[in-house]
Amino acid sequence: MLSFALGIGTQNTQGDWLEIYYPAPLLHPDASLVEAVKGVLDVPDGNAAVSFLPEHCSELAAALKAAGHSEQGELAEALAASQRPLVAMFLAEDAPPQSAPEVYLKLHLLSHRLVKPHGLDLTGMFGLLRNIAWSSEGPIDIEELPARRLKARLEGRTLSVDCVDKFPKMTDYVVPGGVRIGDTARVRLGAYLGEGTTVMHEGFVNFNAGTEGPGMIEGRISAGVIVGKGSDLGGGCSTMGTLSGGGNIVIKVGEGCLIGANAGIGIPLGDRCTVEAGLYITAGAKVTVLDDQGREAETVAARDLAGQSDLLLRRNSQNGRIECLTNKSAVALNEALHAND
C-alpha cells in the first residue's frame, strides 16, 4: 500500500467532492493498519475513496487501536463528532488519480514532506478538481455561490470570498515545521517547503514544487520547479514551470544559487550559480561564454549550459549581449559544453 489517510471533506449539493482535509496521512502504512480498516469498511481493490459515517468511527477506532495504531485510532474517535462527510482514502499504487479525494491525498503527501516534488503521478488532476469559491464559510462550488451568498445575507451575515481557484492555500491544511510564510495565500496546497525556508510576501510557491531548504524565496517557484539548499530567489524573479512554457523539462535550481531581483530562468541551474538582476535566461537565448581568464570561448544557446555549476550569468552593459562567466579553463569549458553531443 502506497498511502492511506482518514479525511474530512466538503461536497456540493450534488454530492461531488470539493475538497478533503487529511490530518495525518501515512506513506507506506503498515499492513496491519490497512487490514484493520478493511475489517470495518467495505473496501474495493486498488486505489479507492471509501465514504463512511460518524457511527462507524467507534468500531474503526477500536480496530485500529487493537492493531497497535493508537494515533490513527484516536483520529478515528475524533471524526465521530464530524458534521462533514468522511472518507478513507487507499492508494494501492501510484497511478494517475481518478477522484478528488485521491488528488487531495497526493497534495497532502507533498506538503507534509512525505514525498518530494515529481515523486507522485498527478496526470489529469485538473479535470478532477472543481472551481471553488474559498470563502469565510468554507469552500463553495462556484455554481452554488449565488444561492449561498443570498442565504447568508438573509440571515444577517456577509459571505466573503477570498479567492476562486481549483487549489486552496497550503496553510489551511498543512503548516510544516521550521518555515516562515509572509503571505499564506501565495503558497498552494501541494507545495513542498523544506525546513528553514522563508517565503516573503512577494514569494509564490505552486503545487508539486518547492524548496529543499533553507532558503529565502522572494520570487516565483512555478509548478514543477525545485530549489536546492541555501539558494535565494530575489524579489520579483521567476522560474519557468512545466505549465508555463517549460514543457516536460524539470527546472531545478541547485544549491547555493542566487537569482537576482526581477530575473528569471528557463533552464535548470547547477550549484553556486548567479543570475544578474533583471536578466531572464530562456533556453534559446544566445550566450557568450567566458573562461576563467575572462576570454571569449564560445557562443551557445542557454540550453547548452543547463545543469552546469559555478556560472555567473549577466548582461554586458556596453554591447547588450548575455555573458556567462565560469571558473573553468577554456579546455575544461569546451569539454563540459560538448559532453552530450
- Give the active site residues: 218
Q: How many CB atoms lie within 10 A of CB 323?
A: 19
- Distances from the Cα of 120 to the Cα of 27, 115, 117, 128, 302, angstroms: 12, 7, 7, 16, 29
**How large is the C-alpha radius of gyration of the chain?**
24
φ and ψ of 2, to 5 deg: -75, -45
- Give the pairing type, strands 231-233 and 17-21: unpaired
- DSSP bridge pairs for 197: 215
Q: How many CB atoms lie within 10 A of CB 162?
A: 13
- Distances from the Cα of 61 to the Cα of 23, 76, 78, 96, 258, angstroms: 15, 5, 9, 30, 50
For the chain, report the end-to-end CA distance as a whole number of angstroms: 42
Give the helix/strand (H/E) hosting 280: strand 280-281
- Give the pairing type, strands 226-227 and 252-253: parallel
- DSSP bridge pairs for 233: 217, 259
Q: Is the dihedral of CA 314, 320, 322, 327 positive or negative?
A: negative
Q: Give burial (CB, 10 Å; 0-12/13-18/19+) of 254.
A: buried
Q: How many CB atoms lie within 10 A of CB 189?
A: 21
**Alpha helices, DSSP H, located in the chain:** 31-38, 57-66, 70-79, 100-111, 145-154, 330-337
Task: Report which of 8, 43, 44 is spatially closest to residue 25, judged by C-alpha positions.
Answer: 8
What's at 165, amino acid-wise?
A: D
